[in-house]
Structures are given as structure tokens and as C-alpha cells.
Amino acid sequence: MIRPAIPADESRLRAIQSGALDDPWPGLLDVAIDGPPTVLVCDEGAGPLGYVLAVPDHPVAYVVELAVAPGVQGQGHGSELLGTLLEELGQSGFETVWLTARADDERVRSFYDGFGFSVEDDLPEHYNDGGAGVLLVRKL
């Protein structure tokens, strides 16, 4: 089940963030759960298994983080989260979704390709460790 995040999810979301992301942004979760960023969680009854966080700047939304707990990755939770987010953004009148990914992460790039994202720009030294990124864009 996909639902909006609530304050009680915060500790679990932080654990998912630190366990699943190479370059997390912990401060973003401080404000995101109460909005205005959109945070959706995948919850099958025992608490969040993953989340997607998007910052709206109408008519564009920027997906800042999509993370699934390491023990349940590859089971479709990320696809469910991103699919629901894209649907909600489209219904809310957004026109474009942006996100960044590591340029050399073929698994992640393939995941986003499957949702119709395409490379808009190269981002040399985008990440804190100096790694290159790419800006991915999808029209809604």
C-alpha cells in the first residue's frame, strides 16, 4: 500500500535512507514529512519498506530520493512508489519530473529508463564523492 508519510514514520525512513542510499540528504527528511515536499511510503502493515520524496515547483517536480530497505529491494516496491508518484503528479497538473542518478549506475539508470526517463544533461562531479551524475527527465 502506498500512502503519505506521517511523523511516526520518521525513524524508519531515516534507517531506510542511511541503509539504501549512497549519498543521502538527512536534513531533507526533517522538513519533508510535514511538507511541502511530497513523501510517499510503501507500507505493507509493519511500517515503511521504502519511500519516494519529491519537491514540487509547479509545473516541475524534482524526485530527490527514492529508497527501499536493502532487505526488500528487487520486489517491486520502488516501482510501486515511483508509479504512484508519477500518477499523482500528473493528476495534479505537473508537466515534467526531474531526478538525478549516478552516471555509472546501470541498474538505477535501467530502472528509470523503464519509466520513460531520458538523459537531459551530464553532471560532472555532482556527488559529494566527486562522482558524475546525469539529469533524467520525464514528461507527464
Residue 16 CA to residue 3 CA, distance in Å, equals 16
Q: Give the helix, strand, coil percentages of the chain, each rounded to 5.
A: 35, 35, 30
Residue 123 CA to residue 64 CA, distance in Å, equals 15
- Residue 44 is predicted with a pLDDT of 87
* CA-wise closest residue to 95 among 140, 37, 136: 140
Range of the domain at 39: 2-139
pLDDT over 70 for what percent of the chain?
98
Residue 23 has pLDDT above 80, yes or no: no
The total number of structural domains that make up the chain: 1
What's the rounded mean pLDDT across residues 48-73?
94
The CATH number of the domain holding residue 81 is: 3.40.630.30
What's the rounded mean pLDDT across residues 60-80?
95
| Residues 31, 34, 38, 42, CA torsion sign | positive
- pTM for the predicted model, two decimal places: 0.91
